[in-house]
Structure 1
């Protein structure tokens, strides 16, 4: 079984390099931890491992450290939004499947469909063509999965 770990998610400003170095020295090294900034979400996530055999025991073991993190992060305008305990293989699975769809632009959609970028834009006006997930100044973005499914449909 994978080792248990605790994930703490904070919203607010991203951690600076200096803050990460200090956090590593004070907390992460002792708990084989790591920290990730997710600017697109406005969150930073701290992972801590615990030398125990179950996720629930990991929470109990790391409770003082979690309180320390909350106290320190609150001073800098960050708010704890989630605490979760799981085995490390579950964290790895979630990281690989982050829930965000793979996106393609018109050029990539054209490659999948075996056509030109201009043809993708023409086809995009058809009601049976997948709807774009995003409309950006640089162009539309579609779900790669939807474009591949469209490519496999009989025309």
Structure 2
């Protein structure tokens, strides 16, 4: 079981969105005395996300379902989180994230756009039964801030 899991919904492998989410997961892991986070980068699955029996996607889903803390990150696409992330999370059953603490992170062109997609992602995670904590909505211009992840995660309540 991976205690802390990062899910990156960016269609580009190794994106800056994923980098930020991984940094948040690492800060939370250190604070909780947990192992470093496991990263599920949805970009590597590509079209396999649409195949019901794909073993790689099934492994990623099993990793997510075993998490205690789930950091879910997405860039803003057309006012919301990515379709890539939605397709993946739609595989979960009703209340599939019950008992999981979720940390939504979104990146947008500006603060308003990032905040809008964070609200959408928060709603999706709550619908899946997660205990959603305050999210992080980041404008692209702030992605280079070395203190961003630590500042967000330092006092975040993550105990279920």
**TM superposition score category, shorter chain reference:** 0.3 to 0.5
Higher strand proportion, which one?
1
Larger Rg: 1
TM-score (norm 1): 0.33
TM-score (norm 2): 0.32
